Amino acid sequence: MMKSQALSAERAFALDYATEIERIAGKLRHALTHELNRRGLVVAISGGIDSSVSAALAVRAVGPKRVYGLLLPERVSSPQSTHRGRLLAEHLGIEYEIFDIAPALEALGCYARVDEVCKAVHAGYGAGWKNKIVLEGGLEGRYNHFKLVAQDPAGKIHEARLEYRQYLMIVAATNFKQRVRKTMEYFHADRLNYAVVGTPNRLEYDQGFFVKNGDGSADVKPIAHLYKTQVYAMARHMLLPGEICNAIPTTDTYSLAQGQDEFYFGLPYGQMDLALWAYEHGADPAALGKALGISAQAAQAVYVDIEAKRRATRYLAAAPIRMPSS
């Protein structure tokens, strides 16, 4: 166990970005030619840092003419996300398409199912209201639970704890968004004979912050080994637009603005990156607590939460279980 050495994000995430970029690009080219037998790459661009760097790496690997970008907004997507996605595609010089998936989500009942839960939890919920779900409890050493935060048309905030079945309904309904997007990605991959690029970073992939058969599905995952801190640094090294390099991570899933720390991680990405690195390198909770400015007890709770999320989400990345022959 690493006890005596002080934790340093600069040391933990040090990387020769020029070398790593070329290594990833080479791996992508090899995968396309020798393993996947595909001509190019499809990338869904959300306007966030992960999809932006993934698209830039795809261009570095095969050139802009063999990368196809997709912007797939829906009813509650932030206009800024679409703006940054278009900005990136034009910066990279790739062909791209904007396709509104809201009608498909409407037909599947995505919005209606979320509204049904919201109306059951908050009396008066209806037209003009906004919502998000927020994680609570884990970093205080208590059992993680979720609450529904809603804003009425007058701007007043209403909060209530969700029953587990209600939480599952909202998550199941909103997961339609990632699954419909992935369907569109593979439609274009099939028509172009391209492969699909997945965009989860190391923290998301390790902790199960992706949707099975949604954003977790892909043919190649070029940044799944990189901490989000490193993804931001790589974006700056690749000279991506400042609006993208400085964008704050959000889920862009609910009608109220929601950070990833609110919904899933409990801490901002930089601190969670360091916590995961410390956990994997056997750092004492006291050392992590000192580095993050929290108590050793709270740092231990972070470690417990990392372990719990690994157990709970292991199935997301698992291959289907095949029944043995008799």
Q: Which of 168, 199, 216 delimits the end of a domain? A: 168
Same domain, 100 and 21: yes
> Looking at the 3D structure of the chain, how many domains does it have?
3
Same domain, 122 and 221: no
Angle (deg, nearest 10), helices 296-313 and 269-280: 80
Same domain, 124 and 249: no
Same domain, 92 and 142: no
Banded model confidence at residue 249, pLDDT cuts 50, 70, 90: confident
Judge whether 310 lies within some domain.
Answer: yes
Judge whether 237 lies within some domain.
Answer: yes
Banded model confidence at residue 181, pLDDT cuts 50, 70, 90: very high
The predicted pLDDT at position 107 comes to 98
DSSP summary character for residue 219? S
Q: Which DSSP helix (H) or strand (E) runs through 29?
A: helix 17-30
Residues spanned by the domain of 219: 15-111+174-255
Hey, what amino acid is at 127? A
Express as a percent the part of the chain with pLDDT over 90.
85
The values of phi and psi at residue 36, to 5°, are: -100, -20
Q: List pLDDT tens digits, range 21-36.
A: 999 999 999 999 999 9
Q: CA 143 to CA 4: how far, in whole Å?
A: 31
Pairing relation of β-strands 41-44 and 195-196? parallel
The predicted pLDDT at position 257 comes to 83
Judge whether 5 lies within some domain.
Answer: no
Banded model confidence at residue 265, pLDDT cuts 50, 70, 90: low
Q: List pLDDT tens digits, range 131-163.
A: 999 887 655 555 578 899 999 999 999 999 999
| Environment class of 259 (CB within 10 Å of its CB; exposed 0-12, middle 13-18, buried 19+) | middle
Q: Is the pLDDT of residue 4 over 70?
A: no
Judge whether 243 lies within some domain.
Answer: yes
CATH code, 87 = 3.40.50.620
Same domain, 229 and 182: yes
In sequence order, the β-bridge partners of residue 197 are 220
Residues listed for the chain: 326
Same domain, 41 and 95: yes
Same domain, 195 and 82: yes
Q: Which of 145, 168, 191 delimits the end of a domain? A: 168
Judge whether 36 lies within some domain.
Answer: yes
The values of phi and psi at residue 102, to 5°, are: -55, -45
Q: List pLDDT tens digits, range 185-241.
A: 999 999 999 999 999 999 999 999 999 999 999 999 999 999 999 999 999 999 999
Q: Residue 155 — left, alpha, or beta (φ > 0 → left; ψ -120 to 50 → alpha)?
A: left
DSSP string spanning 278-312?
A: HHHTTB-HHHHHHHHTS-HHHHHHHHHHHHHHHHH
Same domain, 42 and 77: yes
Same domain, 82 and 210: yes
Judge whether 8 lies within some domain.
Answer: no
The predicted pLDDT at position 96 comes to 98
The predicted pLDDT at position 138 comes to 54
Same domain, 287 and 305: yes
Judge whether 261 lies within some domain.
Answer: no
Same domain, 40 and 96: yes
Same domain, 88 and 178: yes
**Inter-CA distances, 285 with 269, 290, 311, Å:** 18, 9, 20
Hey, what amino acid is at 122? H
Judge whether 85 lies within some domain.
Answer: yes
